[in-house]
Amino acid sequence: MQEIAEQCRVFASDDLVADLSNLLTQYPQQAVFLLADEGSFAACADILKSIPHFDACRTIVIAQGDDNKNIDTVARVWQFLSDNGATRKSVLVNLGGGMPCDLGGFCASTFKRGIDFVNIPTTILAQVDASLGGKTGFNLGSLKNEIGVFSVAKAVVISPVFLKTLNHENFLSGFAEMLKHGLIADADYYNRLIAFDTFEPDYDKLHGLVCESIKIKNRVVEADPKENGLRKALNFGHTFGHAFETLQMRRHTPILHGYAVAYGMMCELIMSRNLRNLDPHFCEQACVDMSLLYGPLQVSEDDIDELVELMHHDKKNDGRGINFSLIPQAGQVEVNIVVERSEIEKALRDFLVINFS
């Protein structure tokens, strides 16, 4: 098992069963608990059977979907740990995409004032973003990740075995976060991603690209673990994106997180062109590329007021207004940019033209 990101404690595994078994030998078998969502548990059942530390009586399977990332699920996990004898020396292994890794990390970080947790991300989105960097939490109603704490996993184990299990939509959802890493930190990496065949992927090449994304995020987190400044760069696309995601959740027509981020990046590319002199030709081509990958979002001008109101809840805001991270050019980013409502509305209207063209 090779460590690829020290700050985020990320390890690339060529033999998941052997590496995970070795990692868990530091805990008594009765101290190891497993949390997974229904889809991940079903897909990985055969692999889990090969790991002696996992026992059915210490396994909790939660419902899939971001609408289950709530206080009721958190309470259920806490109760399960308590009822089954978890102590401060226990470890919670979180298996799945971003939702179980976020929620499981929060549960572990708060149970008995904190127990160890290990993340085994099974989606690209979780491998390059949600499972690493120390952010844990859950949604408050329709507000994304409104409650949470910073707490770094004991280890994040990345295995390429899961990449082939993803359907095209979940593949693209994670791919959006990789595109974000290129746009904020490495223009050459972004160009290689845009050239990558997402319909017939080369999985060996994909694993290498995933590891590059992890290293980019690790560098940012290492420089700013608690998101006081530079780490806000990782929120590029997320101010608009979370608003889109919440709006669709309220309508009971949820979209995958990465799709919301892709639409959000299109808006923030437009805003970067308008406010930070991002090259117009690059902006247009990047928006076209993302539009071809992710298709249209069902929003209209009638939704603008609600979207702006949702952006006021973004955690990056500091009381002065709605805060964005924008890019003056690919591979560079500026943070803490407070933007007037008129500019936000202008970016949304320009996005709608591209969205339905």
> What average pLDDT score do residues 168-194 get?
96
Over residues 41-94, the pLDDT tens digits come to: 988 877 777 887 888 789 999 999 888 999 999 999 999 999 999 999 999 999
Mean pLDDT of the chain: 91
Q: State residue 58's pLDDT score.
A: 92
The pLDDT-based confidence of 5 (bands split at 50, 70, 90) is low
pLDDT of 320 over the 80 cut: no
Over residues 47-57, the pLDDT tens digits come to: 777 887 888 78
- Count the alpha carbons within 13 Å of 1 in the hemisphere toward its beta carbon: 19
> What average pLDDT score do residues 193-210 get?
94
Count other Cβ atoms within 10 Å, centred on residue 186: 18
Closest CA to 297 of 255, 258, 329, 249: 255
How many separate helices (H) and strands (E) can be counted in the chain? 13, 11
Letter for the amino acid at 190? Y
**Where would I find the beta strands (DSSP E) of the chain?**
2-5, 10-12, 32-37, 59-62, 91-96, 116-121, 135-140, 143-150, 155-158, 322-326, 334-339
Domains plus CATH for the chain?
2-165 (3.40.50.1970), 168-355 (1.20.1090.10)
Over residues 110-165, the pLDDT tens digits come to: 999 999 999 999 999 999 987 787 889 999 987 888 899 999 999 999 988 888 88
Helical residues (DSSP H) of 11-167, grouped into ranges: 16-24, 38-49, 71-83, 98-110, 124-125
Q: State residue 6's pLDDT score.
A: 65
pLDDT of 1 over the 80 cut: no
CA distances 46 to 51, 115, 146, 194, Å, are 10, 27, 35, 35
> What average pLDDT score do residues 281-299 get?
96
- Count the alpha carbons within 13 Å of 10 in the hemisphere toward its beta carbon: 29
pLDDT of 314 over the 80 cut: no
> What average pLDDT score do residues 277-294 get?
96
